[in-house]
Structures are given as C-alpha cells and as structure tokens.
C-alpha cells in the first residue's frame, strides 16, 4: 500500500496524528472539495471564517488550553488528507493527540492602534491564508489584540471539515471551554453522541442500499433538461475560474420585513419559501428564462447524534422553477414551497453524484445545473446570539456572553465560487442579505441594481400576490424620470 499525493511542503509540517494505516473514506461532498483543492491548493476560496470582537481581558494561556481542549473534543479539526492507492482518505487523529496548550492552532498578534475597519481587514487576511490539507492543517485560531481588553478572535476552518453550523458550534464550545478553564475548572460541555465519521458511514450505507436508485430517479427526473439560472454578465466568462469576488449587502426595511412575514403566513409557506419564490421571479424577469434551476445549500444533520458534530454536513438541492405566461407572485411562491419540500424529502442523494450523472466534470467548479445559489441563515437562533452587523459598519452591536463583551465582525468570504451566491440572514426584526458575486463576470453596479429590483418585486409581491410578475415595472418613478431626461437631452440632477 502506498500513500500518495502529499506535497513536500505539507509533509514537512506533519499531521496532528500519524499518517499511517488505511485511513477513513471521505464523504461524497468531501471528495468534491478534495478535487477542488488539488486544482488550486494555494486558493483560500473554501476557507470559512468567523470573527468576533472581544472587549474584555482574556487569559491567553487559558484560551490556548481551551483551543487544545476544543480539538480534543472535535478531532476532525486535526484531520489530514492524502491519497492511498489513488483513493482520497482522511486520517483523523485520536482525541488528545495534539498539544494541550493549543499552541499548534492558536496564534496571538499584537496590533495596537488599529481602527475597527483595519481590524476587520486583518481578520479577513487571517481567513485568506491557505490551508495545507495533507499536513492536517485545516483549523486555526488567531487573536488580534489591540489592547489588553480589546481584540478580535478569529476562527478559521477549511470547508472540507466544517460548514456554517460547525463554525458557530466551534465558537460556542471555545467560549464555553475558555470560561471553565479561566475559572480554574474544566470545560462544561455536554458529551457528544456522534462523530463526523458516523455521518460518512451513514452516507455509504445509503448509497449501497435500494434507496439510492429511488433518489437517483427523482433527481434525474427533476433535473434532466434544466438550464442553470443566469443573469446577463458584464464580461465574458474566463476559461479558468479565479474565485475572485465581492459582496453587496442588502437590508430590507423593517416594514417590508413585516410584510414578507405576513404574506408568507397568509400563503401558508415559510418566509424562506416566499423570499426564494420572489428571487426566482427576479431571475425570470432578468434572464428571460422560463425554466431554470438555482442551488440551495442545506444542512444534513438529521442522523442520530449529528446536531452537535463538527464537519462538512451540507448538501445542495437543485431547485427548478418554471414560469408560464401570466404567472403571478402567488404562483411563484407556491411553486418554490413545493419544490423545497420535495427536495428536502430527497436530500440524502449527494449533489456531486447528481452533477456528474447529468454532465458535470469531476472536480469542476462549474455545474451544468446551477450557477446561482440561494440560502438562508436563521441568525436569530445562533449561539452566541450576536446581533447582525449594521449596513456600512465594521462591527455589530455588543452583547454580554459568558462573562465576555462580544460583537460580530462580518468578514467577507466564500466569494466568487458561483456567479452569484445569495445568503439571506433572518434576524428577529429584519432580513439582510449578502449577495456574493464573481467579479470576473459582474460589476458592483450590476449586483446593486439586481438587489434593488429584487426589493421592488418583494414590495409588489407583498402588496398583491395575485399580480402578474411580468406586469411589474423594474424601474421606479425616479429612475424613469432620469431615463426620460437622458433620452431627451435633459440636464442631470444638480445641474
């Protein structure tokens, strides 16, 4: 048996545990990320970053021990990846294999005098340092310390061993562990009853069962012949994807948020289904397609003991939408609701297998099924319950949590993976959206205009769900006046 595929720069560092034996298989989703990593190992495109501002004195030694205890609790944080006889495998170290003081994963940097904006920029740069998967380098914590009582705590993982839910679990467990250790005790964590390897095994069992054929048949029937949803681009698509991207932020006014919730309730659907249906209607108006699909990443933590597990427990639903002549907003919302429920009932079939079955290239970042993704995060259910960062600010409102004063940094990340990746966040009294777009294809002004039109269609849909989608003007009265002025040689505003 030979172990292949570890680059020399990775083997020098050495994994957290011994890279010997057959290792464990990867999940199908992990295999896809492994192939993407091999295409561009220097890219941080699949790094996930979560950063919080800490306005309290931190005991660095206790923080280090909390990091070490965190890795012992979640050994996946030390996983190394390699190919054994040409097959990718993961080598998860035994609990407690790393240094108890956390020195392998924790770095402290003193950055006195930095503004909030500069601190946010530093947090982003921490998240953009590539990982070395062959060396078991998949997790890091960096403390950016402005003063003894003012710092940014940055937690970064590679997507191959984590997801958005996992990132919040890690922050929660790290802060709980720190509280216990700093008080002279031990972390007060509930015991875990499952592991990520349990998830991988459950997926293997499913794919070896008769249910696989039923799931394949469903997705083949739903996706055969569908086009990827698209909007007109500003520039031709490059031959090789660069993962260059940016983010435009949208915040729905409180009044519109209330109307969305009321309209969703009246229609008997979730707010997410309502927002999805109107977004699909926006794409219909923009791209001229009447039959297309978008991707919808969803958590797959349904097995026993998986709710608290750190790992890549995500699958992507391909949601198809069709628009007949005269379709109304009510039609679009009802169809989105049905498609979501049906897709969730068949969520067990891994998207990478579906993608390849219908023509996608293994290891490719460009699926024939979708190029636009749409999802929602229930920010009002997160722990710690950090308020969202206001538009235009670098840091969010402060809360008290486990004896620490904390606030969220909204670190730009995961940009450029898709043509457009919309992540809506549901807070107690508002919806906000991060519209992450590929800058190879789009100018910022194009995405800003798209978000404005999405908001305009939301206003129309909540005012009259029975209104035809194609009867709503995407240009408001002020924009219309400007266009008319330009068309007649009129003066620009302010002249």
Residue 441 belongs to a domain with what CATH number? 3.30.559.30
Number of domains in the chain: 2
Backbone angles phi, psi at 149, to 5 degrees: -125, 30
Asked whether residue 55 falls in the same domain as residue 155, the answer is yes
Q: What is the reported pLDDT for 494?
A: 34
Asked whether residue 26 falls in the same domain as residue 151, the answer is yes
Considering the domain boundaries, does residue 407 fall inside one? Answer: no
CB 211: neighbour CB atoms within 10 A?
14
Q: How far apart are CA 332 and CA 337, in angstroms?
A: 9
Asked whether residue 229 falls in the same domain as residue 151, the answer is no
Considering the domain boundaries, does residue 82 fall inside one? Answer: yes
Asked whether residue 134 falls in the same domain as residue 230, the answer is no
Which of 136, 157, 191 finishes a domain?
191
Considering the domain boundaries, does residue 43 fall inside one? Answer: yes
Asked whether residue 172 falls in the same domain as residue 294, the answer is no
Considering the domain boundaries, does residue 99 fall inside one? Answer: yes
Considering the domain boundaries, does residue 107 fall inside one? Answer: yes
Asked whether residue 154 falls in the same domain as residue 217, the answer is no
Asked whether residue 112 falls in the same domain as residue 236, the answer is no
Asked whether residue 174 falls in the same domain as residue 254, the answer is no
Asked whether residue 220 falls in the same domain as residue 186, the answer is no
State the DSSP H helix or E strand holding residue 218, giving kind and residue range, or none if neither: helix 211-223
* Bond before 384 cis per omega within 30 degrees: yes
Q: The domain that contains 87 carries what CATH number?
A: 3.30.559.10
Q: How far apart are CA 423 and CA 223, in angstroms?
A: 23
Asked whether residue 249 falls in the same domain as residue 321, the answer is yes
Asked whether residue 440 falls in the same domain as residue 313, the answer is yes
Backbone angles phi, psi at 383, to 5 degrees: -135, 115
Give the side-chain half-sphere CA count within 13 A for 162.
27
Considering the domain boundaries, does residue 53 fall inside one? Answer: yes
Walking along the chain (495 residues) 10 residues at a time, the average pLDDT comes out as 36 44 92 94 95 98 98 97 95 91 98 96 97 98 98 98 97 98 97 96 97 98 95 93 91 96 98 99 94 97 93 98 98 99 98 90 73 92 89 91 96 89 90 95 97 98 98 77 50 34
Q: What is the reported pLDDT for 359?
A: 82
Considering the domain boundaries, does residue 328 fall inside one? Answer: yes
The residue segments making up the domain with residue 74 are 3-191
The model's pTM is: 0.90
Asked whether residue 306 falls in the same domain as residue 435, the answer is yes
């Amino acid at each position: 048996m030979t172990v292949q595929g570890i680059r020399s720069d990775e083997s020098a560092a050495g994994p957290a545990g011994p890279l010997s034996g057959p290792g464990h298989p990867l999940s199908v989703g992990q295999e896809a990320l492994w192939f993407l990593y091999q295409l561009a190992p220097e890219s941080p495109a699949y790094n996930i970053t979560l950063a919080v501002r800490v306005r309290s004195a931190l005991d660095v030694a206790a923080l280090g021990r909390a990091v070490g205890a965190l890795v012992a609790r979640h050994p996946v944080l030390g996983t190394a990846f390699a190919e054994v006889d040409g097959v990718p495998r993961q080598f998860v170290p035994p609990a407690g294999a790393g240094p108890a003081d956390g020195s392998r994963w924790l770095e402290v940097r003193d950055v006195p005098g930095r503004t909030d904006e500069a601190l946010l920029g530093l947090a982003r740069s921490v998240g953009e340092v590539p990982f070395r998967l062959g060396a078991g380098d998949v997790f890091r914590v960096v403390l950016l310390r402005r003063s003894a009582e003012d710092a940014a705590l940055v937690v970064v993982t590679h997507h191959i061993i984590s997801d958005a839910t996992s990132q919040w679990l890690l922050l929660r467990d790290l802060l709980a562990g720190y509280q216990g250790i700093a008080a002279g005790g031990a972390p007060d964590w509930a015991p875990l009853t499952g592991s990520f390897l349990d998830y991988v095994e459950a997926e293997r069992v499913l794919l070896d069962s008769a249910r696989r054929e039923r799931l394949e048949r469903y997705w083949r029937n739903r996706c055969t012949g569908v086009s990827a949803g698209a909007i007109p681009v500003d520039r031709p698509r490059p031959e090789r994807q660069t993962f260059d991207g940016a983010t435009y932020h949208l915040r729905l006014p409180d009044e519109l948020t209330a109307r969305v919730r009321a309209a969703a309730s009246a229609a008997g659907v979730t707010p997410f289904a309502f927002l999805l249906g109107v977004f699909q209607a926006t794409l219909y108006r923009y791209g001229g397609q009447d039959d297309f699909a978008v991707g919808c990443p969803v958590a797959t933590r349904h097995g026993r003991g998986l709710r608290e597990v750190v790992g890549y427990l995500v699958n992507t639903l391909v949601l198809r939408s069709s628009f007949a002549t005269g379709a109304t907003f009510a039609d679009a919302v009802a169809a989105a609701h049905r498609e979501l429920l049906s897709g969730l009932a068949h969520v067990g079939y891994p998207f990478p297998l579906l993608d390849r079955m219908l023509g996608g290239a293994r290891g490719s970042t460009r699926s024939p099924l979708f190029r636009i993704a749409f999802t929602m995060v229930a920010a009002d259910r997160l722990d710690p319950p950090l308020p969202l960062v206001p538009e235009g600010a670098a840091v969010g409102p402060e809360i008290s949590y486990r004896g620490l004063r904390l606030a969220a940094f909204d670190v730009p990340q995961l940009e450029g993976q898709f043509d457009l990746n919309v992540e809506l966040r549901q807070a107690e009294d508002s919806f906000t959206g991060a519209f992450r777009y590929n800058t190879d294809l789009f100018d910022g002004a194009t995405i800003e205009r798209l978000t404005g039109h999405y908001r305009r269609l939301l206003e129309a849909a909540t005012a009259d769900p029975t209104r035809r989608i194609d009867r709503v003007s995407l240009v408001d009265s002020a924009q219309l006046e400007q266009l008319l002025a330009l068309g007649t040689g009129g003066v620009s505003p302010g002249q």
